[in-house]
Amino acid sequence: MVRSGVVYLAVILQLLSLPFVAGATAEQDEVGELPRDINREWVTEKRGEYIPLDARFLDEHGREITLGEIIDRPTLILPIYFYCPSSCSVNLANMAVAMNRLSFDPGDDYKAIALSFSHTETPEIASQAKRNYLKLTFDGFPENEWLFLTSSAEEIKRVTDSLGFRFKRIDDETFVHPSAMIAVAADGKIIRYVYGSFISGDIDMAISSAREGIPILSVRRFLEFCFNYDTSGKRAIYQNVKVAVLIFFTVVLVGVSIYYRKKRRRGGGRTR
């Protein structure tokens, strides 16, 4: 109960931090002129569209595979690059920790992909990264259900374009990029985007929607849609409405979590 309370408090704090006023335009992508909210300006949500399942990648063992050979159930895709000195490391760690707390089981209910958007990275680099982040998962985590992929620039671009995910190389080893996890259904349909610290309740909702094949707007984008106004003179009104929306989504997250936790107790738990 304490952990659940902390998780939902984190959700509320994350959402309360969203800006009321739109940031810079997407064209302001030169170094030093980045948008205030890069997750909004550099991610175009393409819910209901499909990723190219014939796109070819190498897994961490160097085996060539297509996305269609991997994605046969709800799948979480995290575009990153393994040599990222900051946010990607945090995102991969947050993803590992979140998967420890999900109501769904990896392998049985979903798969996960860490997809490098740096075409210079190799399966050897991916393999080392995977070994590091698997240490953060629970005992018995099925490591074959979390794949670390690399590919050519052309294949990477096909997939990131289909996801609406932009990135920009600024030197030989550094990229500017947003932080977003994308849930897709078994047929490759894009269902939901997850931002922020990858709260387990939010990912649970994404997987649940992917199981049903029903695209859904992310909480962050919903709030940005509601509050992307000049709030001069009206800030108190928007703040009150925003809090009401946050309460609604918190209740939904709590309800979903309780439902799946009860379901898990009936079916037995897992060792961590």
Lowest mean pLDDT segment, chosen from 37-51, 124-138, 221-235, 237-251: 221-235
* DSSP output for 88-156: HHHHHHHHHHHHHH-SSPBTTTBEEEEEE--TT--HHHHHHHHHHHHTTSPTT--GGGEEEEB--HHHH
27 contacts 33 by C-beta, under 8 angstroms: no
260, amino acid identity: Y
Question: What does the pLDDT read at residue 196?
Answer: 82
**Residue 66, helix vs strand vs coil:** strand
pLDDT interval class at 258 (50, 70, 90): low
pLDDT interval class at 9 (50, 70, 90): very low
pLDDT interval class at 247 (50, 70, 90): low
Mean pLDDT of 134-162: 97
Question: What does the pLDDT read at residue 271?
Answer: 52
The mean predicted confidence, pLDDT, of the chain is 80
Which of the pair, 242 or 230, is modelled with greater confidence? 242
pLDDT interval class at 40 (50, 70, 90): confident
Question: What does the pLDDT read at residue 111?
Answer: 98
Asked if pLDDT for residue 84 goes beyond 50, the answer is yes
- Report strand pairing: 111-116 vs 146-149: parallel
Residue 235 in tokens: 């800030």
Question: What does the pLDDT read at residue 217?
Answer: 86
Question: What does the pLDDT read at residue 31?
Answer: 43
Residue 6 in tokens: 């902390």
Mean pLDDT of 113-142: 97
Q: Give the CA angle between residues 151, 93, 82 to the nearest 5°.
A: 25
User: Other CB atoms closer than 10 Å to residue 237's CB: what's the count?
Assistant: 10
Query: Does the predicted TM-score (pTM) go above 0.85?
Result: no
Question: What does the pLDDT read at residue 146?
Answer: 98
